[in-house]
Structure 1
Amino acid sequence: MPVPGPSPAQSSPPAAAARFGTHGRGADAVTGGKPALPTGPALPFGPAARPSRPFSAPAPEALPVPGEGPGGDAVAEPVREAAAATATPNPALERIMRGPSGVGTEGLFFTPRQAPPAAPPAPAVAPDVPAPRAAAGGRPIPGLYHHPVPEPDPARVEEVSRRIKRWAVDEVEAYPPEWEDQFDGFSVGRYMVACHPDAPTVDHLMIATRLMVAENVVDDCYCEDHGGSPVGLGGRLLLAHTALDPVHTTAEYQSEWAQSLLSDAPRRSYRSAMEYFTRAATPSQADRYRHDMARLHMGYLAEAAWAETKYVPEVSEYLAMRQFNNFRPCPTITDTVGGYELPADLHAMPAMQRVIALAGNATTISNDLYSYTKELDSPGLHLNLPVVIAAREGLSDKEAYLKAVDIHNDLMHAFEAAAAELAVSCPDPRVVRFLRGVAVWVDGNHYWHQSNTYRYSLPDFW
C-alpha cells in the first residue's frame, strides 16, 4: 500500500498557527528516525529498552495532507469552504489542503485525486476516476450519515489476521479453542487495516490491533460475554489498569504485583499489548493512551453501577456515559500507528480534544445502532441508545431507533465541523494530518460495523 505523499512546506506560519505555538518550522523541530517495531515472542516483564526518540515526527514538509483518500473529504471539504470565506486568503493553508501535484505524485495518494481547477470555480472530478468500492457484505443503516471507503488491502488484512491470532492464542493465551470462531468472526485484521490505511508497515498496524484485542478481552471477561459481571468490576478493572499504568511500590510487594499481571487473560493481554505500544510510542503518546483508557474504565463502571441498581438513565446521562465508555482510545493513537507524533501541546488543545471526543461519541452511537439486535438477544436488559430513548421518552422501538440515527448524524456533522474549524485556525501540517487520520478512522470503523455480518444484523424497521 502506498504511503501518503508529502505536502509542501509552509513558507511562513500563518498568524493563527502562531497563536498555538511555533510548531512545524523545519527539521530542527523534530527528527526523522523510525526504529523497527518489536516482533516475535512475548516480551519480558519490566521496562523495555527503547530508542531515545522512537517514531519521531518527520519534518512538516514530509507530512501527508488531508482531503485525499478514504474519509479525507469529510474534513477537507468544509476546510476549503471555510478558507474561501476568509477575508484574507491563506496561500499556505491552500497549499496544505491541495497537496503535492505534478509528474510522479499521483501514486502518493490512496485514491485518485480531484483535478486541479483551471479557474475560480470548484475543481471538476476527472471522468475516469472510479468511485470507492462499496464494503463487502452487509448494508449500511438507512439514513445513517457515513462515508464509504475502499476495500482494505487484502494482503495486509491476511498478514495482520495471521499475526494477531498467533499473539492472542499462543503469546498471551487470551482465547481458548472454544472461542476460536468468535475471534475469527470479529475480523480484527480487516477492521484495523480499514481504520489505518496510512500505517507505514504491518508492524505499525499490529500496535493498534493488539490494543484493540486486549480491550475486547477485558470487556468480554470482566464486563459482558464470557463471565463478566458488574459485581466487583471496579477492583478487576483497577488491577487490569496497572498493566497499562505500572504500580510503583516497595520492593517487598513489587514482585507480587508483577506476577499478578500474568494471572488472567485480560491482564496478560493488556500487559503485552502495552509493552509493544510503548516501544513504538513516545512517552507523551503512551501517557495520552493511559489517560484515555482510564476514561474508558470509568465509563465501564458507570454502566455497571446502573446495571447493579437496575437504573435506566436519562438520555442525557446515557450520552454522557458513552463519552467515556467509547472508542476514544482508538483514534487517539492514530499518529503512533501512522509513524509520527502529534506533539502533546497540540493534542491537548481544547479544540483538538473536542474533535476526538466527537469522533468517539459518533462512532460509539454507530456501534449502538449496528449491535442493537445482537444486544436485544442477550440475557437481561442491555443499555444502548435506542433502548434508553424508548424507555425515557415513551417512543416505540422503531421511533427510538430512528431518533438514535438522527443523534448519530448530528454528532458526525459536529465532528466534521469542529475538525474543519481547527484545521483552519491551526493549520500546522501535523494537526491537519492527525485530523485526516481521525476522519479516516471514523470511516473505517463504520465500514467494519457495516460489513461484519457475523456479528451484526439490522432490525426490520424499513
Structure 2
Amino acid sequence: MPAPEPTSPQSSLPAAAAHFGAQVLAEAAARACDVRAATGDSPGELSLPAPPALPALPALSVPTLPPPDAPTAVLPTAVVPAPIPGLERILRGPSGLGTADLRLVLREQLPPPSQPPATSAEGGAIPGLYHHQVAEPDPVRVEEVSRRIKSWALDEVSLYPDDLAEQFDGFSVGSYMVGCHPDAPSVDHLMIATRLMVAENAVDDYYCEDHGGSPVGLGERLLLAHTALDHVHTTEEYQEQWAKSLHSDAPRRAYHSAMNYFVQVASPSQSDRFRHDIARLHLGYLAEAAWAQLDHVPEVWEYLAMRQFNNFRPCPTITDTIGGYELPMDLHAQDAMQKVIALAGNATTIVNDLYSYTKELDAPGRHLNLPVVIAEREGLSDRDAYLKSIEVHNDLMHDFETNAAALAADCPVPSVQRFLRGVAAWVDGNHDWHRTNTYRYSLPDFW
C-alpha cells in the first residue's frame, strides 16, 4: 500500500479566527459584567485603584477609564494596498451585535502619498519617502497630554532637571502620542502610552546617548532598569533592597511609575507582551553598544537585524491597550501577526534614521544609522547611501502593508481588524511627528 501523500501546510489563522470570532464579543461582555460585579461601577465607567507609590515619591493616581469594550471612533487609515481574494467581504466589515463601528478603509480612498518640498513652515517630508498623509492631531488633546506628561516627568518622577525643560517641550510628545493613537477613547488612555514613551526615551538618553550614556556597563544598567518592569522575586531581606533601588535613578523611577499605570488598564497577557518587547529593545541597545566599544561598523544586513530589536516595536504593539480593548494572546502570537508588527517597527525606525541623520552627524562621535552603514559597507557617497536608505524604507512599508492586508483577509476577527488599523495609524503618526518636529530634525541637502 503506497504511503499517503503529506497534506499541504495549512494556516492556523482561519481556525484561530473561528475560535475567537465566536467568543470575542461574549468575552468582552463577560469582562464588563465581572468588573461591574467586583467594583459596583456603572456600565459606562471603570474605576481603577491607584497603583502603589514608590518610597519618597508622590502617590500615583490613575484616572477613571471606560471599560475595555467601550466603542471608539473608526480610524481614518487602513492597510490594504491591493486586491486579495475575499477582501471585499472583509472590507465590508464584521456584522452582528456591537460591530457597527468596526470597518476597514482602503488607503486608496485617502489622498495619495505626497512629496512636499524639503523645507516648509511645518516641516517637509523626505522627497521620495513612501508615506500617508494624516489628519492633524486633535489640538485639545495635544495640549492636555502635553500638560499632564510634563507634570508627571518633572514633578512626579523627577525625570529631567529644570534646565532640560526646553528639550522636553521640543520633543512634542503630546502631539506624537495623540497622532499615533487616534482611536484612544480618552486622554487618560493616551497618557498610558505617553508615560511609557517618555520613560523609554529617558533610558536611551541616560544610559545610551545624550545625557551621559555610554556603552560601558550598559548591560548592568539595562538589567536593573528592566526589573522596574519585570519585578524581582527573591528573599525578604534582598527584596527590600531591590525595592529601594527602583527610585535610585531617573530611568528606573520612570519605568516603574509608567508600568504601574499601564498594568492598571492592561490585561496580564498585554503586560507580559510589553515586557517581552522591551526586552527585545534592550537587546538591540546592547548589540549597538558592543559595536561602539569595538569601533565596528556592521554589515548592512546585520544593522537591519539589530534595528528589528532596537526599534519602536513596544509602542505600536500596545495599540489595543491604548484603544481600550484586547487582541487575544493567541492571535497576537500568530507568526503572521508577529511579522506585521516587526515590519511596522522596522519601517518606523528607518524613518527615525532618515529624519535624525543630520542631527546625529552634528553630534560628537560616530552614530550608526542606515545611511552611514550603507555608505561604509557598500562604498557609496553620503547622498547615494541616503537615497538607498529611502528605498529600503519604502520596501519595508510595502511589505508591511501587503502582509497586513493578507492577514486581514485571513482572519476577519473584529479585534484583529482593529489592531491592524491601530498599527497602521501608529506607523503613519510616527512619520508625521518626525516630519513636523523641526525643533529636533532637519533634512540633508541631497535634492
Which bracket does the TM-score occupy, shorter chain normalised? 0.7 to 0.9
Give 1:35's aligned residue. Answer: 46
Shift of 1:197: 0.8
The question of 1:241 aligning with 2:226 is answered: yes
Using the alignment, how far apart are the partners of 1:50 and 1:205 within structure 2?
15
Does residue 251 of the first structure (1) align with residue 227 of the second (2)? no
How many Å apart are 1:25 and its aligned residue?
1.8
2:269 to 254, 274, 284: 284
Aligned to 1:412: 397
Please give the alpha-carbon distance, in whole angstroms, between the structure 1 residues aligned to 2:315 and 2:102.
23
Q: Tell me if 1:188 matches 2:199.
A: no
Q: In the aligned structure 1, how far is the partner of 2:28 from the partner of 2:52?
A: 32
Structure 1 residues 262 and 339: CA distance shift in structure 2, 3 A:
same
From 296, 304, 313, the counterpart of 1:319: 304
In the TM superposition, what is the alpha-carbon distance from 1:330 to its structure 2 partner?
0.1
- Which residue number in structure 1 is paired with residue 205 of structure 2? 220
1:448 paired residue number: 433
Matched residue, 1:350: 335
Structure 1 unaligned blocks of 5 or more? 1-14, 115-122
In the alignment, structure 1 residue 76 sits paired with structure 2 residue 73: no
Question: Does the 8 Å CA contact 2:136/2:179 hold for their aligned counterparts?
Answer: yes
State whether structure 2 residue 69 is matched by structure 1 residue 58: yes
CA deviation profile, 1:236-285 (whole Å, cap 9, x unmatched) = 00000000000000001001000001100000000000000001100000
Whether contact under 8 Å (1:38, 1:276) holds in the other structure is no
C-alpha change, 1:372 and 1:304, in structure 2 (3 Å) is same
State the Cα distance separating 1:18 from its structure 2 match. 2.9
The AA in structure 2 aligned to 1:18 is A
Q: Name 2:9's counterpart in structure 1.
A: none
**Paired residue for 1:120?**
none
Match among 290, 313, 318 for residue 305 of structure 1: 290
- What SS does the aligned partner of 2:80 have? helix
Cα offset, 1:64, TM superposition: 6.6
SS of equivalent to 1:23: helix
User: 2:194 is aligned with what amino acid?
Assistant: T
Unaligned runs of 5+ in 2: 1-11, 33-44
Is the contact between residue 102 and residue 414 of structure 2 (CA under 8 Å) also seen in structure 1?
Answer: no
Aligned-residue identity in percent: 65
Specify whether residues 363 and 98 from structure 1 end up closer, same or farther in structure 2 by C-alpha distance, changes over 3 A only: farther
Displacement, 1:99? Answer: 11
Tell me the SS of whatever aligns to 1:76.
coil
Distance in 1 between residues matched to 2:275 and 2:300, nearest whole Å: 28
Deviation at 1:29, TM superposition (A): 2.8
Partner of residue 363, structure 2? 378
Separation of aligned partners in 2, 1:55 and 1:248: 32
Match of 1:203 among 167, 170, 188: 188
Instruction: Tell me: CA distance 1:247–1:345, structure 2 relative to 1, closer, same or farther (3 Å).
Output: same
Equivalent-residue separation in structure 2 for 1:375 and 1:163 (angstroms)? 29
In the alignment, structure 1 residue 275 sits paired with structure 2 residue 260: yes
Give 1:401's match in structure 2, choosing from 363, 367, 386.
Answer: 386
Q: 1:434 to 1:170 in 2, by over 3 A?
A: same
Amino acid corresponding to residue 293 of structure 1 in structure 2: I
SS at match of 1:408: helix
Following superposition, the deviation at residue 450 of structure 1 comes to 0.2
Contact 1:64/1:433 (8 A) holds in 2: no
Instruction: Report the Cα distance in structure 1 between the residues aligned to 2:315 and 2:49, rounded to whole angstroms.
Output: 20
CA distance in 1, matches of 2:374, 2:306: 14
Query: Could you say which residue in structure 1 is the equivalent of 2:280?
Result: 295
Please provide the CA RMSD for this pair.
3.2
Matched with 1:117 is none
Q: 1:137 to 1:322 in 2, by over 3 A?
A: same
**1:60-100 alpha-carbon deviations (Å, 9 max, x no partner):** xx6876xx51x32xx1353xx21xx44xx874x24317999
Q: Secondary structure at the match of 2:432?
A: helix
The residue type paired with residue 35 of structure 1 is L
- Partner deviation per Cα, 1:364-411 (whole Å, 9 max, x = no partner): 001000000000001111000000000000000000000000000000
Q: Take 1:205 and 1:37, find their aligned partners in 2: how far apart are those partners?
A: 16
3-state SS of 2:124 partner? coil
2:36 matched residue in structure 1: none
Q: Does 1:18 align with 2:15?
A: yes
CA contact (8 A) 1:55 1:340 kept: no
1:95-174 equivalences in 2 (<5 Å): 95-96=92-93, 137-174=122-159
Q: Separation in 1 of the partners of 2:52 and 2:153? A: 11
CA distance in 2, matches of 1:306, 1:18: 44
Secondary structure of residue in 2 paired with 1:28: helix
How many angstroms does 1:24 deviate by?
2.8
User: Structure 2 residue aligned with 1:423, among 408, 420, 440?
Assistant: 408
Q: Does the aligned pair in 1 maintain the 2:144–2:187 contact within 8 Å?
A: yes
